[in-house]
Structure formats: structure tokens, C-alpha cells
Amino acid sequence: MSKRSHLHLTDLSCIACEDLTEFGAGKEGWLAPDASTTILCALDAHSLAIANRSLILILGWSDPDEPRVKIRPELSPIEAEHITAIEWLVFEEMKVIAVGTSRGFLLVYSLRGDLIHRQMVHTGRILKLRVHGAKKDLMQDILSEEVCVVIPGVIARFDGTDIQSLLQRWFQETHSRFWDQKPKKDSEDMGNSYGRLPYQLWNVNKYGSCVDAAITGIMPPPLMELQSSQRYYCAVTIGDDAVISAFRLSEDRNRSLVGAILSKVVPATFSTIASFSKMIWRSEQTSNRKSEEKPQSFARASPLTCLKDHPRKGEKLTLSPSGTLAAITDSLGRILLLDIQALVVVRLWKGYRDANCFFMEMLVNRDAIGSSSSYYEPRKSDYCLCLAIHAPRKGIIEVWQMRTGPRLLTVQCAKGCRLLQPTYRFGSSLDSPYVPLEVFLLNGDSGQLSVLNRFLN
């Protein structure tokens, strides 16, 4: 039997401030997911980023005295370019904010608002920036960490180690420039002076354009390519034409040796030529360089399965920490729990229109764990994977035990609330003690930020 209470929420901080008025704060329901002007939010363990079409505000919710930072990206007014996605990129020694735009550009900013990197991914609106990490092999504790960029019909993958290397180069140069008192570069120079980030790009519109997607992890090669040295990824997409589609993504753009060599040599050669040209023609027009920047060619994406059920349309997708489960919401108010390894739907909820879901971990048997010792630090095995479902039309949050367990609790919430989850931290599998997956609730009307308790009373 489920428990209905608001004692399962712990208040953490209040983010209400005058700077939020630029985002519509003060109007009832301004933060609601179905608001006329959608506000983007990205949560970190200590900070909250809020964005509209042209402005990003960074708030330190764990420290009220931390200064707030406003970032106004340089966007193209001619093409009505605007912000379409934001996400934190959190490494052990640094943290930055990633921004996606309606023209397909990926921007990376420091916490002070400095532009670190600017790169075209693909022509089209960036729908989602998703950070994920999964083991490369079940027998080895080696992580495959990436940033997945979702564009209608297209998926791009940036490796976490490449991003970390770029950020380290930026940090070292910024630090040396501070001590050497070198003049500050202009923003266009700063966004391109640390090299081009390598990435893979796949066309996944075989079953129609996608509205959300995720790279779930590494998968085995096809039967005819068992000896292949290539790496293959599994991707799940959702959209209007196909509620669920799955693809096997090949790492290389070509199967031939020549193609493999070109895919490695050409980006490095281009980067070297670009750096040399910049030394000679430093004063050339930057607008020409913008127009000449072109996205790279597609790698192979092989379709695995597809679920079409007109008029049902996929709306949102969320991935479990291990990448083995996905929760998918659709236009008929249903939530589908997908087993990604078997590519079958293992559970279905009905009556949840406009729902938002996140996986979380809870201590279900807290009393049994605590009785074993006077002081006991819960381990990963003590937590149970659950799915938190925010049903804004009902004004409730429900938590269900995975995969086929009962509803554990129901929490009432205000209409103008947003369910949030901190972004994945690169290298987080090495953390000790274990930090469980949590879900936060932001009340837009009061500014109160709360966390859903990880244990049942």
C-alpha cells in the first residue's frame, strides 16, 4: 500500500531572486513544463542553470552567498538563433555549462561566463544534451562516458575524455595568461583556439524524425563481424512516426581501411592547417569562417527494431544509470518501461499525460540495514532502483519499484513544479562512499528546492 504524504521531501534552499523575473518568475506556473514559454533547467550537486531563448542564469543553491552569473551567448539574429538545450559537464577538477542552439551549434561556457568552445555539430535544432556513462565490459570496471547530442533524425557522440582534454588545455592557458598578463582574446577566438572536438555522427531517421534519443551503451558487433575491432553502440530513439526505434551505431564512417585512416587523419590535418592559417591570417573576417564550417559525414546506423502504433507518439525518454532500462512517455498518457538489452516493453502505466520521469535509488529496507551496526554507510547493493513519475495534471509524484515492484509512495506537489535530477558526473563510478541517484523538486512559484528522500519512513 502506498503512502501519501509530503514528509518525503526535504527542503534544501530557496532560489527566489530578482534575476528570475527575466524568465517570467512572479507569474503563476511560469516554470511548469507546459508553460507557453518553456524554461530550460539543468541541476548540479551545487548549482542550478536556468535558460530562456537568449539568456542563461547560474545560481548556487547550496551556497546563498555564491554570486549569480548571467551568460548571453552570441547568437545569429539573422537566422533567429536561440538556446534550445543546456546541461552541466562535471569533471573531478572542473565544471562547465554546455549549450545547444537552434542552428546546431554546441557552446561550452565557464562558470564565469567565458566562452571556452564553439562548434557546429549538424544543421538543425539541438533538442537534447545527454550525459551518460556505462561500463565498456561487464568484467571490467572501465567506463565509456559521453555527451550525446540529439537533433531531429540525428545523433552525435562526444567522448568524455576528449572534452576533458580540451577543458584542461583551456584551464592551463587561462592560468598562464593570468600570470603573464597577456591580453584577453576575443570570444570568437576563444571558442575555436583549443582545437575541434572529434565526434561521431549518425543518421537515425529511417523510421521518421526523432524528438528524443539516447546512446545506451556499447553492444556486441553483428554476427558476421565478430572479429571486428570497431566499437558498436546501441541507441534508442522516440518520435512522432515511431514510438520506439533502436539502432546499432558503428564507430567508423567506412568499413574500408582507407576510410578508417581518413576518419582519423583528416580531422587532425584540418586542425593543424586551421591553426597555421590563423597565425598568418589572424585579422581575416570571422564571418566567413562561420559560414564555411560544415558538419562531418555520417557513420553507419543499422536499424534493430521499431514500434509503430498510430496515433501514439513518443514524447520524452529517460535512461537508467546502467543503461539497461528506459522510461518513455507518449502522447496518449502512457509510460513504457523498455528493457534495452532485449528491446521489449516490460511494463506499462496509463493515465499520465504530460508526465516527466527520472530513475532514482531508495533504501527500501532501511530498518534492516540500520540494525546490523550502530554506524553503517549504505552501499550500492543496499539501494533499490525506482522510477519517479511526476504527473503535473494530477499534482503528484509517484515512486515505483523496478522492474515489477509496487508503488512505494505518493507525494503531493504544487502545479508550477519541475522535477529535476543532477547531471551525471564524469568518473563518478570511482566515488567512495557511494552517492545514490536522487530526484529534486523545484517549486517555481515559491522558489523552494527540495529533494525526495531516499528512504521510506
* pLDDT tens track for 16-32: 999 999 998 888 888 87
| Per-residue pLDDT tens over the stretch 150-175 | 999 999 999 999 999 999 999 988 87
SS3 370: helix
Q: Which pLDDT belongs to residue 91?
A: 93
Mean pLDDT score of the chain: 83
Q: How far is CA 261 from the centre of its chain?
A: 31
CA separation for the pair 408, 406 (Å, rounded): 6
pLDDT top residue among 97 and 3: 97
Angle at 102 between CA 96 and CA 108, to 5 degrees: 15
What is the rounded distance in angstroms from the CA atom of residue 451 to the CA atom of residue 258? 53
Cα dihedral 347→352→355→357 (10° resolution): -30
CATH value of 5-178+192-221+231-256+296-452 in 1.10.8.60, 2.130.10.10, 3.30.390.50, 3.40.50.2300: 2.130.10.10
Q: What are phi and psi of 310, to 5 degrees?
A: -60, 135
Using the predicted structure, report yes or no on whether residue 388 has a pLDDT greater than 70. yes
Q: What is the mean pLDDT of residues 412-420?
A: 91
What residue ranges in 2-127 does DSSP mark as E strands? 3-4, 9-14, 40-43, 48-51, 56-59, 69-71, 83-90, 95-101, 105-109, 115-120
Residue 351, number of CB atoms within 10 A of its CB: 12
Digit-coded pLDDT (tens) for 289-320: 444 466 689 999 999 999 998 889 999 999 99
What is the pLDDT averaged over residues 223-232? 73
Confidence at 142, pLDDT banded by 50, 70, 90: low
Cβ neighbours for 256, distance < 8 A, ≥ 6 positions apart: none
Domain ranges of the chain: 5-178+192-221+231-256+296-452
Edge-first strand listing for the sheet containing 115-120: 83-90, 95-101, 105-109, 115-120
What is the pLDDT, as a whole number, of residue 190? 54
Confidence band, pLDDT 50/70/90 cuts, at residue 261: very low
With bands split at pLDDT 50, 70 and 90, how would you rate the model's confidence at 422? Answer: very high
